Structure 1
Amino acid sequence: MTPISILFVCMGNICRSPLAEGIFRHLVTEAGLTGRFTVDSAGTGGWHEGEPPDRRSIATAQSHGIDIAGQRARRIRPTDFNGFDLILAMDRDNLATLGKIAPPEANIRLFGDAALGTGEDIPDPYYGGPDGFELVYTRLLTGCSSLLEALGVERASCSGNTSSVR
């Protein structure tokens, strides 16, 4: 069975998307579904390429038993658009940026639509304090849990190597 591949995207790949990647990966592991998903994160900008996530993202994840310290920021690549089944933008600005550079067949969605069903943006906590990171964690955990449940059920109901994620 071909794994479902998901890419979480924010602006610099140091706050929201690494948290989303870490949370989703943790949930997948807890559910015993490690081989069924490929998970990564990227940024629309390259300012932080090669750097670890923001220390506040690392601390927030760690306080919930998730280690994201080994992740490194990267910028989205052209190959990502065909290499991932689902690309989830954290907010409308990043969604618009991705839409300008992606081929038409790329499956790009707003995290707030695909995972939360609310259409909300996940706010960038970069210029705030720890409370903002905790709020982002809570929204991402809710969305990632719903997404895993939907994709796990969806994949289980599919036959062969196809996925109805697209």
Structure 2
Amino acid sequence: MASPFRIMTVCTGNICRSPMAEVVLKARLAEAGLGDAVEVWSTGVSSEEHGNPIDRRASAVLREAGYTVPRRSARRVTAADLGSADLVLAMTAGHARRLRDLTDRPVVHLYREFDPAAPAVDGLDEHLLDIDDPWYGGMDDFRTTLAQVEAGAGGVVAAAREALARR
């Protein structure tokens, strides 16, 4: 069996946005029959939440939407992560800049680049594709984040399928 296509999602502390994207992508890839061919994991650009579980509000919103939420611990992105990922999906332009400072591989993209309804932007306007941090908000903010993640999931699945077909 060929090695899996590897996708990493990245946010700040790895307790809200990136694990939400990880959960959604794993579910969508499984639904598309690609669960065994694509590996998904998440990290953060900061170590401030290292070892903490997914935020309870993020977990609640995911479960409310029908997703299974695994036990997991937050961790900071490493050079090895960036070296082994085929696709790195940053939640904000700021995260993407930090990741691009760590690698010269052309694998870093904004998650919302895969959302067909997202605005078309050039490098100067990348922040328009940011997935807002729900941390300081309420449950509706987490629902908005989930909606943004779900909106891009189909495009990510399609990109993974295309990449696998080229192998």
Secondary structure of the residue aligned to 1:74 is coil
Cα pair 1:125 1:132 within 8 Å, conserved: yes
Matched, 1:122 2:121: no
Give the aligned partner of residue 42 of structure 1: 43
Give the aligned partner of residue 147 of structure 1: 156
Give the aligned partner of residue 124 of structure 2: none
Q: CA deviation at 1:78?
A: 1.1
1:31-83 deviation line (CA, Å, top 9, x unaligned): 22211101000000011111111101000110111122412111001101111
Question: Cα–Cα, structure 1 residues 79 and 139, in superposed 2: closer, same or farther, change >3 Å?
Answer: same
Cα pair 1:81 1:106 within 8 Å, conserved: no
Which residue type is aligned with residue 134 of structure 1?
R
Which residue type is aligned with residue 155 of structure 1?
L
- The TM-score normalised by the length of structure 1 is 0.88
Q: CA deviation at 1:154?
A: 4.3
Matched, 1:64 2:51: no
Secondary structure of the residue aligned to 1:79 is helix
Aligned-pair identity in percent equals: 32
Secondary structure of the residue aligned to 2:14 is coil
Q: CA deviation at 1:138?
A: 0.8
Give the number of equivalent residue pairs. Answer: 156
1:70-109 deviation line (CA, Å, top 9, x unaligned): 1211100110111100111000111111122x22125111
The separation in 2 between residues aligned to 1:154 and 1:104, in whole angstroms, is: 20
Give the aligned partner of residue 27 of structure 2: 26
Matched, 1:8 2:17: no
The separation in 1 between residues aligned to 2:145 and 2:53, in whole angstroms, is: 18
- The TM-score normalised by the length of structure 2 is 0.87
The separation in 2 between residues aligned to 1:23 and 1:43, in whole angstroms, is: 17
1:115-138 deviation line (CA, Å, top 9, x unaligned): 225351111000001111101101
Structure 2: unaligned runs, 5 residues or longer:
122-128
Which residue type is aligned with residue 62 of structure 1?
R
Matched, 1:109 2:118: no
Cα pair 2:38 2:160 within 8 Å, conserved: no
Cα pair 1:82 1:106 within 8 Å, conserved: no
Cα pair 2:51 2:74 within 8 Å, conserved: yes
Which residue type is aligned with residue 74 of structure 2?
A
Q: CA deviation at 1:6?
A: 0.3
